[in-house]
């Protein structure tokens, strides 16, 4: 368990996130615990929330697809040359 003041947390959020992978990080305000930072795995274990296919699909970034050919004046895709 790690304890950080709210000031320490604000100054180094990356450190708090790193530390939370190993154990909960308690954030204090004026010396009193006010928040707890957990890894998503720890949260799921505590809450009993299992990862669903919807969660997995929501986490992946879709590939970027071109919407139009920027070199084409009409904004559409170039057509194939006619076959002979």
pLDDT digits over 38-61, tens only? 998 898 888 887 767 776 677 666
Q: Which domains does the chain have, with CATH numbers?
A: 2-59 (3.40.1620.10)
Model confidence, pTM: 0.57
pLDDT digits over 13-34, tens only? 999 999 999 999 999 999 999 9
8 A C-beta contact, residue 57 and residue 75: no
Q: Which residues pair with 37 in a beta bridge?
A: 25
């Amino acid at each position: 368990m790690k304890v950080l003041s709210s000031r320490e947390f604000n100054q180094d959020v990356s450190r708090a996130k790193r530390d939370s992978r190993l154990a909960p990080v308690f954030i204090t305000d004026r010396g009193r615990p006010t928040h707890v930072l957990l890894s998503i795995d720890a949260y799921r274990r505590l809450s009993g929330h299992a990862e669903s296919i919807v969660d997995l699909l929501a986490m992946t970034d879709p590939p970027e697809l071109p919407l139009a050919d920027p070199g084409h004046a009409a904004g559409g895709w170039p057509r194939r040359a006619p076959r002979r």
